[in-house]
Amino acid sequence: MEIKKLGISLIEVLVAIFIVGIVALSIAHLMTASALGTRDDILGMCAWQAALSGIEEVRGNRTLIGTNRNFTCILSNGTTNNMMNVQVTTRVIRGNISNTPPSEGSGINSCALVEARATLLNKNYTVRDMVCNFQ
């Protein structure tokens, strides 16, 4: 007489639970890593825009070279807003920007490579661009 096996054994159930647990942990890790990566991207974009604003301020007012400026980024998660302070420092890498533009045809260069460094959460983001004073 042959005995037919019906149902599943306890070992099969434990193996299935183990496999489902491994898959669930993997998906949870991917979701967490994605959320953290998105947050870092948003903060980096904010700091980069603050550094660009620092360059643009120097274009409008040469006396701001070498000063520290503070900008604010607002991070929103839909219900609350978090404000993050970004400190931007500008400096001349090379060249010279005169306060008055040189006369046309004088051959005097009035351009400089300016760096704006934005600091946010102990990370530095740097933007460099030419700033010129033309007539």
For residue 19, name the pLDDT band (cuts at 50, 70, 90). Answer: very high
Instruction: State pLDDT tens for residues 45-88.
Output: 888 989 999 998 888 888 888 888 888 887 777 777 788 888 89
Q: Is 72 exposed, middle or buried (0-12, 13-18, 19+ CB in 10 A)?
A: exposed
Beta pairing partners, 118: 88, 125
Looking up tokens 């301020």 gives 57
pLDDT recorded at residue 99? 67
Mean pLDDT score of the chain, rounded to an integer? Answer: 83
118, 87 contact by CB (below 8 A): yes
Cα-based angle 28, 30, 35 (whole degrees, multiple of 5): 95
